[in-house]
Amino acid sequence: MGNVLIVVEANTDGSLRKATLNAITAGQQLAKASGGEVHAIALAKDATALANAVKEYGVKVVHAASAAHLEHALAENWAPAIAAAAQAINAEWIGAAATTVGRDVVPRVAAKLKAVMASEILSVEGSGADVALTRPMWAGAVIATVKLAGSVKCFTVRATEFAAAEKSGAGEVKVFAAEAPARQLTKFVGFKEVKSARPALTEAKVVIAGGRGTKGDFKPIEGLADELGAAVGASRAVCDAGWQPNDLQIGQTGKVVAPALYVAAGISGAIQHVAGMKSSKTIVAINKDPDAPIFQIADYGLVADLFKAIPEMQAAIKAAK
Ligand SMILES: Cc1cc2nc3c(=O)[nH]c(=O)nc-3n(C[C@H](O)[C@H](O)[C@H](O)COP(=O)(O)OP(=O)(O)OC[C@H]3O[C@@H](n4cnc5c(N)ncnc54)[C@H](O)[C@@H]3O)c2cc1C
């Protein structure tokens, strides 16, 4: 009892995805609280390199599941393999980072094992029979503390709320033989990656985000972002208008970010937007309206026209370099 199984995720180039390290930290806290050990499962066509990449991060055993049907993160193919590995190690907790893959795969594992599930956990509280998890509800307006019943429990982890696991000695890699499901109803057709020279939104240290106040002109936002080596983000209003692609959307129905610096320009600060960025270390808001709700959560607020203020900021930063 008490064992934890974390699903490992890879980037498109096969390297270890950083969010997995945050999920491992949550797994370590759960293992400590419930008296078990942390295991991980890497699934790929050949999972050896990925398993080796993760074994040093405080994981006792990494189960390397290599098979052709596991090449792509299809929940239908991954879930039976994860469920089988969880049963083999008598896992009490099965989790992954709350990425697109984690959100897709883990609930399916929970359904297979008839397990309870908590999504996007923020922290682990208590220990033994009193282990509880906190998770956001109603776009983060409420933080619920939940205790999960049953012998098997599933969870996804909000990566921004847990530090990345650090290297702490090598764990063991074991081959895990995963059988292909009898019927494969989903077929992988292709993956179109949006390539950008800027850092990935969820991993950037600085994010410059624009809202409807930009009126679709993102030149000032992009200029400041490039000056700071930052990622560009957007509110839903911007993405819905087709001004920027959907993968830049931050918020309840977009990405969750927690950079060291978040600049919100021409964004009003609707609760659904704030749900995706309020954990940022320093929040700077630029808005023409002094009553805009974004100022309530901003560390620094500038009541100004973004088209004037941002180029001035960019010029000042450039001059100071
Ligand atoms: C179920 C649900 C889920 C949602 N999910 C999300 C989500 O994930 N992410 C998200 O962002 N939204 C989400 N929304 C939408 C959200 O409620 C808001 O409508 C949206 O965030 C507003 O975007 P905005 O701040 O860019 O636009 P607005 O609210 O229109 O604000 C524009 C701001 O720009 C300012 N402004 C205008 N001109 C300038 C200028 N020249 N210089 C400076 N400031 C200026 C204005 O004063 C205003 O404050 C969701 C809504 C629902 C119902």
CATH number assigned to the domain comprising residue 271: 3.40.50.1220
Comparing 195 with 44, the larger pLDDT belongs to 44
Domain count, the chain: 2
Any domain includes 161 = yes
**pLDDT value for 140:** 83
Q: Do 152 and 228 belong together in one domain?
A: no
Q: Which pLDDT band, with edges at 50, 70 and 90, does 183 fall under?
A: confident
Q: Do 17 and 161 belong together in one domain?
A: yes
* pLDDT tens, position by position, 193-224: 878 889 999 989 999 999 999 999 999 999 99
**pLDDT value for 135:** 97
Tell me which residue range forms the domain holding 144: 3-175
Which atom of ligand 1 is found nearest the CA of 289? 47
**pLDDT value for 90:** 97
Whether residue 138 is predicted with pLDDT greater than 90 in this model: the reply is: no
d(CA 51, ligand 1 centre) in Å: 42
Q: If we measure between CA atoms, which residue out of 300, 317, 319 comes closest to residue 220? A: 317
Percent of the chain scored above 90 by pLDDT? 91
* pLDDT tens, position by position, 102-135: 999 999 999 999 999 999 999 999 999 899 999 9
Q: What is the mean pLDDT of residues 23-28?
A: 98
**pLDDT value for 139:** 81
Whether residue 185 is predicted with pLDDT greater than 90 in this model: the reply is: no
Any domain includes 195 = no
Whether residue 1 is predicted with pLDDT greater than 80 in this model: the reply is: no
**Pocket flag, ligand 1, residue 3 (CB < 6 Å):** no
Give the separation between CA 17 and CA 168, rounded to whole angstroms: 18
CA 288 to chain CA centroid, Å, is 32
Q: Which pLDDT band, with edges at 50, 70 and 90, does 169 fall under?
A: confident
Half-sphere exposure of 291 (CA within 13 A, CB side): 0
Whether residue 29 is predicted with pLDDT greater than 80 in this model: the reply is: yes
Q: Do 163 and 259 belong together in one domain?
A: no
Q: Do 165 and 275 belong together in one domain?
A: no
Q: Which pLDDT band, with edges at 50, 70 and 90, does 292 fall under?
A: very high
Backbone dihedral region for residue 33 (phi beyond 0: left; psi -120 to 50: alpha; all else: beta): alpha
Among 119, 152, 175, the domain-final residue is 175
Any domain includes 180 = no
Q: What is the mean pLDDT of residues 259-279?
A: 96
Q: Nearest C-alpha to atom 31 of ligand 1 is from which residue?
A: 268
Q: Which residue out of 224, 263, 287 has the highest number of ligand 1 atoms within 8 Å of its CB and is therefore the one to mutate? A: 287
Instruction: Determine phi and psi for 134, rounding to 5 degrees.
Output: -105, 150
Residue holding tokens 């390290």? 21
**Pocket flag, ligand 1, residue 274 (CB < 6 Å):** no
**pLDDT value for 321:** 87
**pLDDT value for 193:** 81
**Pocket flag, ligand 1, residue 212 (CB < 6 Å):** yes
Which atom of ligand 1 is found nearest the CA of 252? 8
- 78: tokens are 């991954």
Query: Is the separation of the CB atoms in 281 and 227 below 8 Å?
Result: no
**pLDDT value for 178:** 95
Please provide the average confidence, as pLDDT, over all residues in the chain. Answer: 96
d(CA 180, ligand 1 centre) in Å: 45
Query: Is the separation of the CB atoms in 37 and 27 below 8 Å?
Result: no
Cβ contacts of residue 70 below 8 Å, gap of 6+?
43, 44, 45, 47, 77, 78, 81, 178
Q: Do 301 and 234 belong together in one domain?
A: yes
d(CA 272, ligand 1 centre) in Å: 9
Q: What is the mean pLDDT of residues 46-64?
A: 97
**Domain of 121: which CATH number?**
3.40.50.620
Q: Do 97 and 239 belong together in one domain?
A: no
CA distances for 203 relative to 81, 95, 180, 276, angstroms: 29, 20, 34, 13
Q: Do 12 and 96 belong together in one domain?
A: yes
**pLDDT value for 192:** 85
Q: What is the dihedral of CA 299, 226, 201, 283, to 10 degrees?
A: 0
